Structure formats: C-alpha cells, structure tokens
Amino acid sequence: MIQVDETVKVLTNQSGEPVRFSWRNGSYQVTSRPERWYSRKPWWLEASRAQRGIGAQVLEVEMWRITASKGINSPNQFELVHSQADDGWQLVRIFG
C-alpha cells in the first residue's frame, strides 16, 4: 500500500460514482463497480476539539475504493476521498 495525499480530477456517472480520474498527467478508467463508505474525518488535525452537536457532514468523509487502470496496464485499487463541501477529490491510497 502506498499512502498518497494528492488532488485528483474525477468524472462521475449520474449516480455520483467515479468512472474515470486524472492523476499526475495520467487518465485512469474505473474497471469495476466502486465501493462507497463513510469514515471519520481526522478533525483533531484541523481543530483542537470538535464542537458538541455538530453534524455528521462535518465529522465524516465520503470514501471510495475503486479498481482502475491506465491504458493497457493491469488494474490497481485506489482509495479516493470526496469532499461534499467543495466537491473536491483526493487520492489517499494505492493498493497493489
């Protein structure tokens, strides 16, 4: 597993699932159905304390695990984080 923390451009389908993404001047095609889940945001890195009563949208981030390939290369698994606040995407891990 490789830890990454870089912004990527993601193309999604009508359901909001990633179908293609661009990273480091390469274009990756998603080759299987993406898996989505929600994870806790590391709020302790951004603030000394989370305010009582704030909603899940502040403490949780949308995560996606996808299998994708670049051209004729064999596919790898990638984990992406989607920020719904600004519609931004981050590549956080590469497996394989």
Return the number of other C-beta atoms located less than 10 Å from residue 67's C-beta. 18
d(C-alpha 55, C-alpha 90), whole Å? 22
CB 93 within 8 A of CB 4: yes
Average confidence (pLDDT) per 10 residues, the chain, 96 residues: 96 97 96 93 61 60 96 93 90 94
pTM: predicted TM-score of the whole model, two decimal places: 0.83
d(C-alpha 50, C-alpha 78), whole Å? 29
Residue tagged 């497996």 (tokens): 95
**Would you state the pLDDT for residue 53?**
57
